[in-house]
Chains A and B, each alone.
Chain A
């Protein structure tokens, strides 16, 4: 397994948190979420994002309403729920904790 494939696993695991993060400050259309993620490690496509958004909505972490868009038909406008905010904060804390543990493991065995 190439190192990039290892990173791919991390990236996949954290994509959900990244999507929640992108909605933390401001609600958005799916296209905006893709735009915010693009260029970074969490760049993804519609094919990956829509199933994820549906799952997060089913888990009650985010919610959407139909909103008129400047062009074309109404689109889903996504926002974090309170539950989603709590989950996002907990996820970030947990990821930080993981990094700390990784460092500590290294120190003990050095």
Chain B
């Protein structure tokens, strides 16, 4: 007994055995990928579908109404792999390189990060590995994080891209073999999928911790710049919640646009013009929070700014911003007042 699926090819429905369906799907997927940059893609795909439908139809007669996997295999062999006339020599042009950064599992030592980088830049992966190990030692292990992040978030190159990178043409037989392998390894793939999800959760956790640490680190730098924190000597204490609120809002007013710009660049690098729903929501949320912090900063500044300057005046005689000191009291330092 074999499972049968119904598909629509060029406006007609056909019953195909499941294994044949997998093969057909792999074939059409590959055709779409090959024709990705072809202006006539839709038309060619329709032509190919019709050709497949015609050939399948001719094999159906009498009471037979299901297309056997073997028959479909035969049909796809006859039709042959789709070749893109728009870019005929892309695969065998000298130094075929990946257009995007991928993980390349074939010949990889761990995740395929260095392998992918090597193919992307056209250098020996071994050199990339050595560079990564050196960088890990030099940065005291922090570089490992970058490796892991790349490993978790880069997409894995599929057979077409790998073949293009290796300069091998992808024949109909290769596609069909791949489709068969795919069916056989279904359970293995499920397992791998589960493993990848676990890895992804760990990666997201690591990324969150990393971001929190970065935010804390920048916050410390900000306090250092304002002179509220010093590595040696006495720091000016934060005078009550008002100053803390002003410092915090000023921090957010400066930091949020940086975060938004970073997210924008990140998306560019990803090659996706359209942001995902969550991504768009996060961006909108950040923008709104940014607007609110600007309002809060202005309000706090106009309400309490004067008090704070007076506080600084009475306690220390000058206001320190970054490396400059703004003198507020002639009697203490003797220079010209700035206000």
Contact = CB atoms under 8 A, between A and B. Distances in A.
Interface of A: 12, 30-31, 44-48, 50-55, 57-58, 72-73, 75-76
B79 interface: yes
Contacts of B54: 31, 72
Contacts of B79: 45-47
A15 B57 CA distance: 29
Contact of B51 (A50, A52, A73): A50
A58 B48 contact: no
A39 to B, nearest CB: 15
Interface stretch (B32-40, B107-115, B142-150, B244-252): B32-40
Interface residues of B, number: 26
B47 A48 contact: no
B80 interface: yes
Interface stretch (B81-89, B190-198, B295-303): B81-89
A50 B78 contact: no
Nearest to A16: B85
B80 A12 contact: no
Given A12-B88, A58-B40, A72-B57, A51 B51 contact: no
Given A30-B51, A58-B40, A72-B57, A47 B82 contact: yes
Contacts of A73: 10-11, 50
A52 B85 contact: yes
Contacts of A47: 31, 48, 79-83, 172
23 contacts: A12-B88, A30-B51, A45-B79, A45-B80, A46-B48, A46-B51, A46-B80, A47-B83, A47-B172, A48-B80, A48-B83, A50-B47, A50-B82, A51-B83, A51-B85, A51-B86, A54-B40, A54-B43, A54-B85, A55-B85, A58-B39, A72-B54, A75-B50
B294 interface: no
Given A51-B40, A55-B40, A72-B57, A30 B47 contact: yes
